[in-house]
Amino acid sequence: MKKIILFIVLLTTLISCKNKSYNYFEGETQGTTYHITFEESDINITAKEIDSVIAQFSKVFSTYDSASIISRINYNDSTVEIGDNFKYLLKVSEEVYKQSDKLFDITIAPIVNAWGFGFKTGKHVDSLLIDSLLQYVGYNKIRLSGNKIIKQNPNIMLDGNAIAQGYSVDIVAKYLECKNVKNYLVEIGGELKAVGVNENGNCWRVGIDKPIENSDAENRELQTIIAINNLSLATSGNYRKFFVENGVKYAHTINPKTGYPVKNDLLSVTVLCKECIYADAYATTFMVMGYEQSKTFVESRPDLEAYFIYTDNDNQIQEYYTSNFKKMKVE
């Protein structure tokens, strides 16, 4: 799923702090952009190294690369084997699948493709098509055997877009930590992880967009700004990627149980937790659940914080913060 691009509020220039300077790298990946700021350590890190880490990740999880591991699985290459990173993504995917009562499901690829939001050209969608494709959806229809993924049916396909981008943030963060970096902010396509402090010695400040249809980097507005430390963040919404047909809006978030784009009161949701892979997965899950169910869910989970923007019964925009999330608000 294409995620909501967050505006990272870097309110100061990159200057030295306690005799160490901060580096800033940016680039393109996975059809989006990345921005990484980190304090220098005793081990030199180059932009080329960061590019290489991200490129290696894409070679595993990009559904737009026909030679990637996930693409080879989707097209039934019997020789392909997966490594530890893929196994961890499967572990988290299965966990969220079960905890969300199957509202998060990486086997949703055939449905997402049919609607034109995936890695294949969309089709003319009707109930007959959706019914025919739903038989291939369900995480319980795949299993891991050694280093291979076994599918019950060759038409089953995986779509990691609702979780892989967040996971890529974790992978880059781990790389920095292996290089003794203590203070950093990694942002890829709007998903991010912030650890330590910025160049001024303060918590990292990030902005969350207003859910304005068709907004982009040129015309976005901020809804709020928060200060975070040692947390990951992901935002999901239905106001940027959608299409209108015969006067009906079809958003890119698909309910894996029904096979149809969700229609509920939730405009966007931002999730905070330790690992960005979880923040990413739950942000998507909550968009499927809707506001009330998501609020109940997140309030039962001390490991999650969330910020919801939704419409009430009078079609007025409202917002709700979990208690700890609200404490991080600075504007």
Provide the β-strand partners of residue 150: 143
Query: What backbone torsions phi and psi does residue 276 show, to the nearest 5 degrees?
Result: -70, -25
Q: Are 6 and 187 in contact (CB under 8 A)?
A: yes
Cα distance between residue 79 and residue 152, in whole Å: 17
- Identify the CATH homologous superfamily for domain 7-54+173-327: ApbE-like domains (3.10.520.10)
Assigned token pair, 170: 């974790």
Question: In this predicted structure, what is the pLDDT of residue 213?
Answer: 60
8 A C-beta contact, residue 57 and residue 43: no
Within this chain, domains 7-54+173-327 and 61-151 share the same CATH topology: no
Q: Rounded to a whole number, what is the distance in angstroms from the first to the last CA of the chain?
A: 29
Packed helices 164-178 and 276-289: angle between N→C axes, nearest 10 degrees? 160
Q: Per-domain residue ranges for the chain?
A: 7-54+173-327, 61-151
Q: How far apart are CA 152 and CA 321, in angstroms?
A: 41
Residue 253 class from Cβ within 10 Å (0-12 exposed, 13-18 middle, 19+ buried)? buried
Q: Quick one: tokens of 322?
A: 């979990």
Question: What is the identity of the amino acid at 63?
Answer: T
pLDDT at 3: 44
Sign of the C-alpha dihedral computed for residues 212, 213, 216 and 219 taken in this order? negative
pLDDT in tens, the chain (331 residues): 444 444 444 443 333 334 579 999 999 886 789 999 999 998 999 999 999 999 999 999 999 899 999 999 999 999 999 999 999 999 999 999 999 999 999 999 999 999 888 766 666 788 999 999 999 999 999 999 999 999 999 999 999 999 999 999 999 999 999 999 999 999 999 999 999 999 999 999 999 987 766 545 555 678 899 999 999 999 998 755 444 454 554 557 899 999 999 888 899 999 999 999 999 999 999 999 999 999 999 999 999 999 999 989 898 989 999 999 999 998 6
Three-state SS annotation for the chain: CCCCCCEECCCCCCCCECCECEEEEEEEECCEEEEEEEECCCCCCCHHHHHHHHHHHHHHHCCCCCCCHHHHHHCCCCCCCCCHHHHHHHHHHHHHHHHCCCCCCHHHHHHHHHCCCCCCCCCCCCHHHHHHHHCCCCHHHEEEECCEEEECCCCCCCCCCCCHHHHHHHHHHHHHHHCCCCCEEEEECCEEEEECCCCCCCCEEEEEECCCCCCCCCCCCEEEEEEECCEEEEEEECCCCEEEECCEEEECCECCCCCCECCCCEEEEEEEECCHHHHHHHHHHHHHHCHHHHHHHHHCCCCCEEEEEEECCCCCEEEEECHHHHHCECC
Query: Which pLDDT value is given to residue 233?
Result: 98
Strand partners of residue 145 = 148
Q: What does CATH list as the number for 61-151? A: 1.10.3980.10
Question: Is the torsion defined by CA of 203, 9, 186, 300 positive or negative?
Answer: positive
